[in-house]
Amino acid sequence: MMKELLEARGLPELMRMEDGTPVTEENWPQRRQEIFRILENQLFGRLPQKPFTQSCELVMEEQKYYHGGKSILRVYKLTVEVEGKPFSWRFWYSIPKANQPVPLFLLPCFARLLPVDFLPTEEIIDGGYGICCFDYQEVSSDDNDFTNGLAALFYPDGVRQPHDGGKIALWAWAASRILDQLLQAPEIDSQRIMIVGHSRLGKTALWTGASDTRFGGVISVHSGCGGAAIARGNTGEKVADITKNFGFWFAPAYAAYAGKEETMPFDQHFLLSLAAPRRLYVESAAGDLWADPLGEYLDCLAVSPLYEMLGLRGVEEAEPREDMLLHGGDVGYSRRPGTHFFTRLDWQRIMAFFR
């Protein structure tokens, strides 16, 4: 049933090279390059290639009182310099006190420095994971202004060309610079740093993981259109909606597909495929209809043949339910009752999948 629904979406072929050659384990790296180039040109855009340097300063550390002394909190100021112009933003991480390196989630987030009001940091620590966050708008504002923050270093005149990167590409680049620093921390397991994001930052997480294969896992939470939801046949937000209201997130070229999704040389299974062979997890909410939960699940099914070709396990096929948990593969999916919010249950399921 689900595979028939997926077939009806008429998706572009994932498992063939541009010249028609079937994709194999041996030529998957070349196919991956083809897919990445398509998405870079047509969806998220590419940032101008400019040399940069970076430095990082510890500005605060707390080990005695945070979470009753069972965890370590560190706050950093990260500075990048491009063509002689510096820009800084902050990030923080909290990790459990442990006798071995711990896995960690890197989360671009909507809150300011310590988002304790919406992030169950202590539960994450108790689960044996670390958590690292940065305020995405401290990197660059969430609007069409490309003259502030990190954007100003790449676009000094604030003007972009059709295939230039938008704000998602900038936020993803910032996440990779934080990863540069996390990989130097011996108390963090360098093989198990997972990128995670919610909503527009779920799209950001998917593109970050696609752009930077050093991340050990990729997690999308309610990312919808332009993220984990298939565009063809989308029953929620469509390309016309998102490019009208939030075109600055993407390459300007993406707007050409408004109302013409069937002409796109890609769909969102291309984006999910770039997580392979790493573990991929997609979360939906049954009441989050704008993000098209069915389209997000079908997208996991669409990418599963690639994982299986690579000797891994795709997502299980199951009838959609309001509450469903599919953790049996290297592609995982869950759907919970409720609406568009990053809940504690979402975090509990993520931690269980990556255990």
Question: Tokens 């069937």 — which residue?
Answer: 262
Q: Could you read off the pLDDT of 205-242 as tens digits, one per residue? A: 999 999 999 999 999 999 999 999 999 999 999 999 99
Q: How many CB atoms neighbour CB 17 within 10 A?
A: 15
Q: Measure the CA–CA gap between 67 and 285, rounded to whole angstroms.
A: 30
Backbone phi, psi, residue 181, to 5°: -75, -40
What pLDDT sits at residue 217? 98
Average pLDDT of the chain? 96
Determine which of 103-112, 168-177, 192-201, 288-297 has the lowest per-residue pLDDT on average. Answer: 103-112
Residues spanned by the domain of 202: 2-49+101-353
What pLDDT sits at residue 281? 98
Q: Could you read off the pLDDT of 116-128 as tens digits, one per residue? A: 556 899 999 999 9
Report the pLDDT averaged over residues 75-93. 96
CA distances from 88 to 47, 53, 286, 310 (A): 18, 12, 39, 40
Q: Which of 194, 198, 168 is nearest to 288 (CA)?
A: 198
Alpha carbon 346 to its chain's center: 15
| pTM, 2 dp | 0.97
Q: Measure the CA–CA gap between 335 and 24, rounded to whole angstroms.
A: 31
Alpha carbon 151 to its chain's center: 19
CB burial of 211-246 (b: ≥16 within 10 Å; e: otherwise) equals bbeebbbbbbbbbbbbbbbbbbbbebbbbeebbeeb
- Whether 141 maps to a domain, the answer reads yes
Amino acid, single-letter form, for residue 320: P
Say whether pLDDT at 113 is over 70: no
Q: Measure the CA–CA gap between 236 and 242, rounded to whole angstroms.
A: 11
Confidence of residue 111 (pLDDT cuts 50, 70, 90): confident
Q: Which of 182, 158, 183, 181 is nearest to 170 (CA)?
A: 158
- Whether 344 maps to a domain, the answer reads yes
Q: What's the CATH code of the domain at 346?
A: 3.40.50.1820
Q: Could you read off the pLDDT of 173-190 as tens digits, one per residue? A: 999 999 999 999 999 999
Helix, strand counts (H, E) of the chain = 11, 10
Q: Measure the CA–CA gap between 136 and 201, rounded to whole angstroms.
A: 8
Q: Measure the CA–CA gap between 148 and 164, rounded to whole angstroms.
A: 16
Number of compact structural domains in the chain: 1
The full DSSP string for 145-175 is --SSHHHHHH-TTS---TTB--HHHHHHHHH
Q: Helices in 82-220 by DSSP H: which ranges?
A: 121-126, 136-139, 149-154, 167-182, 200-211
- Whether 62 maps to a domain, the answer reads no
- Whether 63 maps to a domain, the answer reads no
Q: Measure the CA–CA gap between 118 and 199, rounded to whole angstroms.
A: 14
What pLDDT sits at residue 122? 93
Q: Helices in 21-87 by DSSP H: which ranges?
A: 28-39
Q: Measure the CA–CA gap between 20 and 14, rounded to whole angstroms.
A: 11
Report the Cα–Cα distance between both ends of the chain, in Å, rounded: 31
- Whether 201 maps to a domain, the answer reads yes
- Whether 132 maps to a domain, the answer reads yes
- Whether 22 maps to a domain, the answer reads yes
- Whether 72 maps to a domain, the answer reads no
